Structure 1
């Protein structure tokens, strides 16, 4: 069964990585360590980290003590910024087909618009600092 809310792997990696970095304020964390924690490809995560860096959300430092850290305070970064850094502008989906054939009377009524509005609201009002309970120290240090 297809999921109603589908978030790409890149966006999911970005959201989770930013949550992990927010749970370790001031620390630099390597791509290797982040990939191991998330159990994902280091190469794919590196590409996601480049996008986050270009968006001004993380800073990187090379070298043996290098890694990534948040560029801004977690109170000032919304999930919408993180999502859009990897996926571009979050757009409303008004039709499952992409090209409406229902003559303006969608078989799903306003469901897609309502879900889209809820997702946008959640992403735009949730800050990284709001996620501190999602990343316990045991999970972060595991």
Structure 2
């Protein structure tokens, strides 16, 4: 059970990649370069990039100058939107999951609605910031 507001590593790494990409919005970033910078598995980053592409946050391009590029201006990409996309399928608590868990107090639980409200406020609060707000400093050209 994830009873606190910890983000999954999937979301953590996804945000880090987007922070780097926001430093040069028009540039295509390869998963190999991003994996090297953050010391992460390329395979893991590829899965995260696929989710970001499915959600319309990035666009992936093939070819010599291929890689992932931000699909929109970083100032238009809200953090809550990104977190919601990346945390998809990760229930805050067991009873929010697709199977509903094995909870024995389902019928009389007054916690569930409060947790839903807290989760909603968490996303709303993140949505007050954009990728532009958390962009990493621009890297010097290699």
Shorter-chain-normalised TM-score: which range?
0.7 to 0.9
Which residue is equivalent to 2:124? 121
Question: For 1:5 and 1:123, how far apart are their aligned partners in 2?
Answer: 12
TM-score, length basis structure 2:
0.74
Going from structure 1 to structure 2, the CA distance change for 1:122 and 1:38 (only over 3 Å counts) comes to farther
Residues 38 and 31 (structure 1), Cα distance of their counterparts in 2 relative to 1, 3 Å cut: same
| Matching of residue 68 in structure 1 with residue 68 in structure 2 | yes
What root-mean-square deviation, in Å, do the aligned CA atoms of Structure 1 and Structure 2 show? 3.5
Instruction: Mark the runs of 5 or more structure 2 residues left unpaired by the alignment.
Output: 96-100
Unaligned stretches of 5+ in structure 1? Answer: none
CA distance 1:116–1:14, change in 2 (3 Å): same
Asked whether the equivalents of residues 4 and 92 of structure 2 are also in contact (C-alpha less than 8 Å), the reply is no
Query: Residue in 1 aligned with 2:39?
Result: 39
- State the Cα distance separating 1:20 from its structure 2 match: 1.1
Distance 2:26 2:19 in 1: 13
Larger mean Cα displacement after TM superposition, 79-88 or 13-22: 79-88
| Counterpart for residue 51 of structure 1 | 51
Pick closer, same or farther for the CA change 1:39–1:88 going to 2, 3 Å.
same
Residue in structure 1 matched with residue 137 of structure 2 by the alignment: 136
1:8 maps to 8
Contact 2:53/2:60 (8 A) holds in 1? yes
Q: What do residues 12-31 of structure 1 show as CA deviations (whole Å, max 9, x unaligned)?
A: 11111111111112111100
What is the match of residue 20 of structure 2?
20
Q: Deviations over 1:23-57 (max 9, x none)?
A: 11211110000111111110000011001101111
